Amino acid sequence: MNTHPESAPVSSVTLNNIVKRFGTFTAVHKANLEIPEGAFVTLLGPSGCGKTTNLRMIAGLLDPSEGEILIGGKRVNDVPIHKRNLGIVFQNYALFPHKTVAENIAFGLKYRNVPKSDVARRVQEALDLVQLPDVGHRYPKELSGGQQQRIALARAIVIEPEVLLLDEPLSALDANLREDMRVELKRIQSKIGVTTVFVTHDQSEALAMSDKIVVMSAGRIEQVGTPEEVYNTPASEFVANFLGASNILAGACVTKDADAALLDVPLFGSVPVPADKAPAVTAGASAKLVLRAEKLVLMAPGSDTSGMVTAEAVVETVDYQGQTVRYFLRVGDRQLQAINMIDGRPFAEGQSVTAAFRPQDCAALASA
Amino acid sequence: MEGRFNMGWTLIRGWAVLVYIFMFLPVAVVVLLSFNASQFGNFPMTGFSFRWFVELAGNEAILRAFRTSIILGLLTALISTTLGVLASLALVRYRVPGANAISTLLIAPILVPEVVLAVALLLFLNFLGVNKSFGLLLAGHVIFTLPFVILVVQARLVSIKRDVEEAAMSLGASPVQTFFQITLPLMMPAVLAGGLFAFTISFDDITGTLFWKPGGVETVPTQIFAMLRNSISPEINALGTVMIVMTVGLPLLGAAIARAMARKSGT
């Protein structure tokens, strides 16, 4: 732990052309991924997208059908799980029910020739780190779900793993606890600096915690980037829709220069999208405009819309969510979504409004 | 309305009591008469005495039968639980080709009438030209008790989550260490229960034993059976009482231990 940094090597993880098939079903198609030392990387996607399969292959719980896995630069395809020196935290904690909390945490130290005198001290340090210093003598079932997950984390990091693997560790907790644990998990991870691979289907967890997000869909990696990159510059329609709600408008790129790509889309007309948010778009080809629901603002007709692209719209549905409100709008022949902060009173269903957005808030995709 | 309803329940209760009396009175009579001081194993009792238990303890043939039964029961329990645990692990934790067929075959001895099983094994051994032996008797008992062990252990193993074992391996335990550190302790209540089943079934089995036992070897049930052919001696009542205490008491003891262990491990 933090008291012996020299004995805790931090390793990178590399996936080279990884393929995993189950019978005729291909769960992972040619995954290539570079996870740098000390990074917190999230595999994000809906269930069945292959994220857990990838994690289990890194762990050594599944063998890849093709390709190579490297940990710390060394090929580990043939290294069994118990020799990989990884810490894994499971969704359902997976604590040993017949052992006390202290015995659970000490379990991995038994196989690492840690002197007896050091075991008790390191167990206590781990308990202190997860802020449960006094539960060592208890059995797992005597702890709450959140406490059990902290113990599972302590058990995984006390062995000073080269890589920490987290398999949806927050999804078994209830909503309030999940927020606390999210902060706690991130605090502990940055304190010990271990390379971490986190699997989740929850976009807000991914955005809040990660250095890098790997968005997966149907066994393929859709995009790898920082939270800002995947959120603001989605590389595909899937990414745009999975991370928050987006409106996708199919149109064409008229011109493109170093500053902007000028898109012509239905309903709104010409939209100059900043060039760095339209990397794959080429002039003269068809393109799609990605307009995030929270960037589409409703205004009373006649408001000042200078610098914005506008269209006249009618509110169809109002979905009140407290701080924000979600509108479904009719614009021409299309239904669009807008998520706005509530400023005064929300617009009513059937009301005519001006829907507006700033072109620099949009991204553009090349049409497939 | 209410009255009729109550009367119905009274009748059902009365009937249940009669059924219990029918089932347990003979057992009670045996236990009671084992303490009878009289020469003859019948009523009226002439006085309370441990005389027949003392004589029992001095009867070489019975003591030998007892030793045989206990050794046979212990060996049966040991082999059955070992095989049963291994078979359950294979069937539950690994993908074995034809797992369903194997599972059915292993459970089948419960479904086949014991006489059929007994004769079949004997004929098979005859066909192979192997003589009756203690080993054959043991093999028969193992075949007959294995299904009980497998059923109990499999049920337990299914409820042990795979991720607990995966966690142990991720922490550095080899598959074998994981089995002894995690899986086996977690299924221990079922293993003990299966072993007790095997022991008690073996201990009071008579049908198969009569077919399989080599000449000169007697277990307690076959010894009682042999003694009954001559006369109903009060010693038999005493022996019956000992058998009842063992076959009823052991599973109760086992259940109590299993419950205590489960409470400790929180599962």
Q: What CATH number does the domain containing A275 carry?
A: 2.40.50.140
Picking from A61, A81, A112 by the largest number of B CB atoms within 10 A of its own CB, the best residue to mutate is A81
A128 and A274 together in one domain = no
Examine residue A237 and state whether it is found in any structural domain, yes or no.
no
Residue B114 main-chain phi, psi, to 5 deg: -60, -35
The CATH number of whichever domain residue A75 belongs to comes to 3.40.50.300
CB contact under 8 A, A90 and B167: yes
CB contact under 8 A, B170 and A111: no
Residues of B with CB under 8 A from a CB of A: 161, 163-164, 166-175, 177-178, 181-182, 185-186, 264-267
pLDDT digits (tens, 9 = 90+) for A312-327: 999 999 998 888 899 9
Helices (H), A10-115: 51-59, 101-110
Quickly tell me which residue has 């008469």 as its tokens. Answer: B33
Picking from B171, B174, B176, B187 by the largest number of A CB atoms within 10 A of its own CB, the best residue to mutate is B171
**A16 Cβ contact partners less than 8 Å away, ≥ 6 residues apart:** A32, A67, A68, A69, A70
Cα separation, B116 vs A299, in Å, equals 88
What's the length of chain B? 267
The CATH number of whichever domain residue B142 belongs to comes to 1.10.3720.10
A339 and A202 together in one domain = no
Helices (H), chain A: 51-59, 101-110, 116-129, 145-157, 175-192, 203-209, 227-232, 237-242
A252 and A224 together in one domain = no
A156 and A215 together in one domain = yes
Examine residue A240 and state whether it is found in any structural domain, yes or no.
no
B162/chain A closest Cα distance in angstroms: 9
B109-133 burial code (b ≥16 CB/10 A, e <16): beeeebeebbeebbeebeeeeeebe
Q: Which residues of B touch A86 (CB under 8 A)?
A: 170
For A112, which residue in chain B has the nearest alpha carbon? B172
Cis peptide before A359 (omega within 30 of 0): no
Examine residue B166 and state whether it is found in any structural domain, yes or no.
yes
Q: Given B168, B185, B266, which is nearest A107 (Cβ)?
A: B168
**Contact assessment for residue A367 and residue A285, using Cβ atoms and an 8 Å cutoff:** yes
Query: In the Cβ-directed half-sphere of B139, how many Cα atoms lie within 13 Å?
Result: 16
**Contact assessment for residue B190 and residue B84, using Cβ atoms and an 8 Å cutoff:** no
Closest Cα partner for A50 from A82, A5, A15? A15
Both tokens of A89, joined, read 């935290």
Instruction: Give the pLDDT band of residue A7 (cuts 50, 70, 90).
Output: very low
Are β-strands A309-320 and A297-299 bridged in parallel, bridged antiparallel, or unpaired?
A: unpaired
For A105, which residue in chain B has the nearest alpha carbon? B171
Examine residue B190 and state whether it is found in any structural domain, yes or no.
yes
Cα separation, A179 vs A166, in Å, equals 16
Examine residue B16 and state whether it is found in any structural domain, yes or no.
no
Cα separation, A313 vs A267, in Å, equals 10
Cα separation, B117 vs B107, in Å, equals 13
pLDDT digits (tens, 9 = 90+) for B16-68: 999 999 998 888 888 888 887 777 656 676 777 777 788 777 788 888 888 89
Examine residue B13 and state whether it is found in any structural domain, yes or no.
no
Q: What percent of chain A stands above pLDDT 90?
A: 49
Going along chain A, which residue ranges are E strands?
A: 13-22, 25-35, 40-44, 66-71, 74-75, 86-89, 163-167, 195-200, 212-217, 220-225, 246-256, 260-265, 269-274, 286-292, 297-299, 309-320, 324-331, 334-341, 352-357, 363-366
**Contact assessment for residue A363 and residue A233, using Cβ atoms and an 8 Å cutoff:** yes
Examine residue A14 and state whether it is found in any structural domain, yes or no.
yes
A61 and A93 together in one domain = yes
ipTM of model: 0.81
Number of domains, chain A: 2
Both tokens of B245, joined, read 């205490």
**B244 Cβ contact partners less than 8 Å away, ≥ 6 residues apart:** B27, B30, B31
Are β-strands A269-274 and A352-357 bridged in parallel, bridged antiparallel, or unpaired?
A: unpaired
**Contact assessment for residue B37 and residue B46, using Cβ atoms and an 8 Å cutoff:** yes
Report the pLDDT averaged over residues B58-84: 90
Which residue type occupies A162? Answer: E
Quote the crossing angle between the two packed helices A175-192 and A145-157, to the nearest 10°.
20
Domain with A324 in it = 245-366
* Position with higher pLDDT, B131 vs A330: A330
For B166, which residue in chain A has the nearest alpha carbon? A61
Examine residue B228 and state whether it is found in any structural domain, yes or no.
yes
Examine residue A38 and state whether it is found in any structural domain, yes or no.
yes
A175 and A211 together in one domain = yes
Closest Cα partner for A340 from A301, A290, A299, A291? A299
A168 and A262 together in one domain = no
Q: Which residues of A touch B178 (CB under 8 A)?
A: 82
Cross-strand pairs, A311: A355
Picking from B93, B159, B170 by the largest number of A CB atoms within 10 A of its own CB, the best residue to mutate is B170
Q: Given A98, A108, A141, which is nearest B172 (Cβ)?
A: A108
pLDDT digits (tens, 9 = 90+) for A87-102: 999 988 999 999 999 9
Examine residue B208 and state whether it is found in any structural domain, yes or no.
yes
CB contact under 8 A, A159 and B171: yes
A64 and A105 together in one domain = yes
Number of domains, chain B: 1
pLDDT of residue B265: 57
pLDDT of residue A306: 85
CB contact under 8 A, A94 and B161: yes
Domain with B142 in it = 52-265
Q: What percent of chain A stands above pLDDT 70?
A: 97
CB contact under 8 A, B181 and A98: no
Examine residue B257 and state whether it is found in any structural domain, yes or no.
yes
